[in-house]
Structures are given as C-alpha cells and as structure tokens.
Chains A and B, each alone.
Chain A
Amino acid sequence: EVDLVESGGGLVQPGGSLRLSCAASRFTFKNYWMNWVRQAPGKGLEWVANINQAGGEKYYVDSVKGRFTISRDNAKNSLYLQMSSLRAEDTAIYYCARASMMDYFDYWGQGTLVTVSS
C-alpha cells in the first residue's frame, strides 16, 4: 500500500524557517500531483500547496504565498515544503497527500507538527 512519511517538523520562532519533507514509497511518485494540507489546533483541514508531476506547476493558498515553497525530487521520491517568515498562525500538523487524477486526496501521511512560538 502507498506510504507517505513526513518529517522535519519542530519548534521554531516567529520569523524563522523550517523545511518539511515527505518520503513516498510503494507507488510511482513521478506520476502524481502532490499536496501539503495542514490542520491548526482546534481547526479544520486547510489545503496549503500542490505541485505537478514534473515540478513546474505549483499553487498555494493565499495565506502562504511568498513565504512557502513547494518542491519535489522525483529521483528521491520526495516532496518538500520550505517555510519561511513563519507566523504563530502557521502552527499546525502538516500532512503530505497524494492527489488522484480527479484531484481528490487518496492517500495521506501521518503528519508532522510545526509549532511557531517564542
């Protein structure tokens, strides 16, 4: 079965940076759009960003545009999220999710916690 494992979360000060990674296995990674979705404490799910198969097409939710960068390395079967100028409201569990051909999220990782606090 598809496996997605996130890493890189932790405690960071406001204004700081962090890079999340997602290791993918048991499917042909290079054939799929990939996404980051987050859940802030006590809140619902929020789509954050996605990237196409070759890495040349990327989209972001308005609240992270200009601060977060999604990328991928198909040779390493890995997805990344570079986060900078972090704010308290970026505190959340960040999930990596695979998108199907019809743009629903068919497989998800267990998530990695990012806490932005001084």
Chain B
Amino acid sequence: DIRLTQSPSSLSASIGDRVTLTCRTNQSIATYLNWYQHRPGKAPKLLIYTASSLHTGVPSRFSGSGSGTDFTLTISGLQPEDFATYYCQQSFITPQTLTFGGGTKVEVK
C-alpha cells in the first residue's frame, strides 16, 4: 500500500506569509500527486494535479513541485481565504485505491 505522510500536521501563519507544506510517500509515485484545500463546511477543492499543474480557476499564489516520493505545496502570499486544511492524494495506483495524506491545517497566527 502507498502511504502518504504530510508535515507539519498544523502550522500558524500570518496574512502575506509564504508557507510550504510537504507530502512524502513510502514508494515512488512519479508525479501522480494531487493537492486539495478543504475549508470547514465547504466542499473540498482541487488545487494542483500531477504534482505541479494548477487546476482551473485556482490563484497563481498556489504552486506545487516534486516527484518520486517528495512533494511540496507552496502558498506565496497567504490570503484570509487560504486558512484551511490541505490534503495530498496519490493517483499512481488506480482505480482501486486513491489514498489521501493526513492533512495539514493552516491556522491564523
């Protein structure tokens, strides 16, 4: 099974900060890694697919990088609406298992 480990589990940041979230997998998944934002009471939203491609309508302050087992999501210039939980998800072994990481909660400092 592919396991995804996100770090940190939570972080505190201020408006305008640059924040970097990490997702590591226990085996190589090439660039089959996706990132989602989830605000309480809202539907999760796709941000980044295949490690670095920005989904339609997502602001350019979000960016993704990585390949193999190490991936990052960067938010350049945190905005009030960015305080949320972020999840990575692998799409390397599909369709029979589509696992998520445990999430990183971005909170207001």
| Chain A residues with CB below 8 A from B43, complex form | 95, 108-111
Cα-based distance from A99 to B34 in the complex (angstroms) = 12
* Pair B55/A106 contact, Cβ less than 8 Å: yes
* Pair B103/A44 contact, Cβ less than 8 Å: yes
Which of A9-17, A46-54, A73-81, A83-91 interfaces with chain B?
A46-54
* Pair A105/B103 contact, Cβ less than 8 Å: no
Q: Tell me what chain A mostly uses at the interface: helix, strand, loop, or mixed.
A: strand
User: Is residue B8 contacting chain A, with contact meaning CB distance below 8 A?
Assistant: no
* Pair B44/A104 contact, Cβ less than 8 Å: no
How many chain B residues sit at the interface, stated as a range, is: 20 to 34
User: Is residue B60 contacting chain A, with contact meaning CB distance below 8 A?
Assistant: no
**Restricting to A93-113, which residues have a CB under 8 Å from any CB of B?**
95, 97, 99-100, 102-111
**Restricting to A48-84, which residues have a CB under 8 Å from any CB of B?**
50, 52, 57, 59, 61
**Restricting to B34-55, which residues have a CB under 8 Å from any CB of A?**
34, 36, 38, 42-46, 49-50, 55
Which single residue of chain B is at the shortest CB-CB distance from A109? Answer: B43
* A-B residue pairs in contact (CB < 8 Å), sample of 12: A45-B38, A45-B103, A47-B97, A52-B95, A102-B32, A104-B89, A105-B34, A106-B49, A108-B44, A110-B42, A110-B43, A111-B43
How many chain A residues sit at the interface, stated as a range, is: 20 to 34
| Chain A residues with CB below 8 A from B49, complex form | 100, 102, 104, 106
User: Is residue B98 contacting chain A, with contact meaning CB distance below 8 A?
Assistant: yes
* Pair B98/A103 contact, Cβ less than 8 Å: yes
Point out which of B42, B44, B94 has the most chain A C-beta atoms below 10 A from its C-beta. B44
Q: Which 6 A-B pairs have the closest CB atoms?
A: A103-B91, A104-B34, A103-B94, A108-B43, A59-B96, A47-B98
Given known contacts A37-B44, A45-B36, A103-B95, what 7 new A-B pairs fall within 8 Å (CB)?
Answer: A44-B85, A46-B100, A95-B43, A99-B95, A103-B98, A105-B44, A108-B44
